[in-house]
Amino acid sequence: MLDLQQYASLGAALKDALERWPTETCLIEADRDREKVRLTYSDFREMARPLCRALEDADFKAGDRAAIVMTNQSKWLISAYAIFFCGGVLVPLDYKLTAVEHLQLLAHSKARFLIVEYFLWRAITQAPEFGKLTAEIVLVTEAPAGAELRGAYRWEEFKRKGDPQFVARQREDTACIVYSSGTGGRPKGCVLTHDSYLEQCASLTAWYPFWPGMRYLSILPTNHAIDFMVGFIGPFVCGACVVHLRTLRPEFVRDAFVRYRITYVSLVPMVLKNLERGLRAKFDELTPRKRWMLDRLIGVNKMVTRGRPRVGLSRRLLPQVHKAFGGELRALIVGGAFTDPSTLQFFYDLGIPVTCGYGLTEACTAVTLNDLKPFRPDTVGKPLPGSEVRILNPDTDGIGEVAVRSRAVMSHYLDDPELSAQTIVEGWLLTGDQGRFEEHGHLQLVGRKKNMIVTSGGKNIYPEDIEAVFDGLPVKEFCVFAANYLWPLKTLGSESLVLVLRLEQNQEFEDKLRDEIVARNRGLADFKRVGGYLLWEKDFPRTASLKIKRGELAAEIGKSASRKSIVEI
């Protein structure tokens, strides 16, 4: 791999990577069972060159911001590379957000350029707030012939001839502005420098290296912090290949493992659980004799891998299982949310190591990772090289708030000095997660201190972002909380949202109000829905500017009510 200590920016490292491994395959794009694109590093460079030159002509300058809103595809990575080559700041946005949310984040980030997939651009142009679009130049990918683009340019036609001029950046310069939540509440734009990414990449590849010829399966969105790092930056600076799969249907994910002989893949717990269910269903279909034999072989594998993984031996003991994953798989990487230890143990017992990690957008990607020395399914691993992790104010069980210090931590939240000062104190990132250190230096998470939940799909849900959906409810006031924030539990994995209602004086809670709450809740995406409501008999405490004192209200509710007070909806 490249020696990242020798580079000042992501653009410089990626530029050298394209020149160092010209004939190696860097990117494969597959849609279901059909391969659409296959690029060598030289092909990638030649596709990016005209876009870089066109951005130059469009007066794209060092420090200018460009947003990308796309599903996983080659044009995402080519566009990101062009932005870095020209000295720009990348703003990767989640394509699953609504058009209104996209417009709000574009305005908040002050992105001058927008690169967007056609179906998403069409939704943005149809939004009532489209007139508030702040981007000056929009490039649309995959637009049908004759489509009305509302002043945007076709990505495929936005190119110029000639050699573009590389724009150097320094490590302390901003590389990306990444949003850790939606916009219904308070946009949290994490400002991450080139130094953050280069240091994070060096740490991750020290434990889990990439190399020319290996293949990483990319099924998480590229805008996701995990996949941006280990599904783009990491493989590219090591000469490896990224396989983009534009579907999450289990049968095509399983087929991709075999067809492309995948080495690594990153998953969220929900996808990992689906793979487990599929394997267990296959095992249940075996004849009693074959099942008995399988169980004996699994038992032998468990015995020989108790201290550390021995993947080569496991492949010989359980060849059919490993062939189902392509025969080259070295590890599944899982993060983004709580993962059931029994699921991690299930795969490990089959000789497929699952390295579970812990990270935050504010810390670039990962803070801890399981180095499998030894395997601990009940923890999120050890601090990565260069990361310091501290437990603040531990109780008698050693449990306290997890704090992180490293060069990978963001510099601040965009245009929010107050929140930045609350989150980074004396150089330490206060994560809002609670944990303790176990033997061998492994971190064990036990709950959340902050008013937030993380879904099994790796989504961060801030209750404040949900409240806009309930605006105008015929009640005196309301507030949304994470249940585990109101009633702290030393556990993860059973998180839900609660709608707290304060009725008007003499107001009765009637079926009509309940029906309206249910209807509005159904309008939310499944993972954003509240699990129930709670009636509160006191006025909410407020600041002089009439903002709800959420911490104070949560403390009152936690003290005076119980989880049993929640009425499910």
Q: What is the pLDDT of residue 183?
A: 43
Q: Examine the pLDDT at 438 and tell me if it is beyond 50.
A: yes
* Cα distance between residue 467 and residue 524, in whole Å: 11
The separation between the first and the last C-alpha atoms of the chain, rounded to the nearest angstrom, is 53
Q: What is the pLDDT of residue 243?
A: 97
Q: What is the pLDDT of residue 455?
A: 75
Mean predicted lDDT score pLDDT of the chain: 92
Q: For the chain, what percent of residues have pLDDT higher than 70?
A: 97
Among the listed ranges 9-13, 232-236, 407-411, 556-560, which one has the minimum average pLDDT value? 556-560
Among the listed ranges 196-200, 210-214, 560-564, which one has the minimum average pLDDT value? 560-564
Q: Read off the pLDDT of residues 91-114 as tens digits, 9 standing for 90 and up.
A: 999 998 889 999 999 999 999 999
SS3 of 399-461: CEEEEEECCCCCCEECCCHHHHHHHEECCEEEEEEEEEECHHHCEEEEEECCCCEECCCCCEE
- Give the residue from 124, 85, 83 showing the smallest Cα distance to 107: 124
Q: What is the pLDDT of residue 395?
A: 87
**Both tokens of residue 245?**
């799969």
Three-state secondary structure call for residue 376? coil
What kind and span of H or E run contains 37? Answer: strand 34-40
* Cα distance between residue 352 and residue 218, in whole Å: 18
Q: Examine the pLDDT at 27 and tell me if it is beyond 90.
A: yes
Mean pLDDT of all residues in 1-6: 96
Mean pLDDT of all residues in 216-244: 95
Q: Examine the pLDDT at 85 and tell me if it is beyond 60.
A: yes
Q: What is the pLDDT of residue 182?
A: 47
Q: What is the DSSP string of 191-202?
A: EEEHHHHHHHHH
Q: For the chain, what percent of residues have pLDDT higher than 90?
A: 75
Q: What is the pLDDT of residue 166?
A: 98
Q: Read off the pLDDT of residues 292-349 as tens digits, 9 standing for 90 and up.
A: 999 999 999 999 999 899 999 999 999 999 999 999 999 999 986 678 889 999 999 9
Q: What is the pLDDT of residue 336?
A: 66
Kindly list the structural domains of the chain, giving each domain's residue range(s) and its CATH number in brackets, ordered by start.
Answer: 4-265 (3.40.50.980), 268-448 (3.40.50.12780), 462-568 (3.30.300.30)
Q: Examine the pLDDT at 549 and tell me if it is beyond 50.
A: yes
Mean pLDDT of all residues in 179-191: 75
Q: Read off the pLDDT of residues 124-182 as tens digits, 9 standing for 90 and up.
A: 999 999 999 999 999 999 999 999 999 999 999 999 999 999 999 999 999 999 998 64
Task: Please give the DSSP secondary-structure letter assigned to residue 565.
Answer: G
Q: What is the pLDDT of residue 498?
A: 94
Q: Examine the pLDDT at 445 and tell me if it is beyond 90.
A: no
Task: Please give the DSSP secondary-structure letter assigned to residue 368.
Answer: E
pLDDT-based confidence at residue 241 (cuts at 50, 70, 90): very high
Q: Examine the pLDDT at 65 and tell me if it is beyond 60.
A: yes
21-24 LR contacts (CB < 8 Å, sep 24+): 21/212, 21/239, 24/212, 24/213, 24/239, 24/241
**Both tokens of residue 258?**
């075999």
Q: Examine the pLDDT at 367 and tell me if it is beyond 90.
A: yes
Q: What is the pLDDT of residue 144?
A: 95
Q: Read off the pLDDT of residues 447-504 as tens digits, 9 standing for 90 and up.
A: 777 777 877 666 778 787 788 789 889 999 999 999 988 888 766 666 789 999 999 9
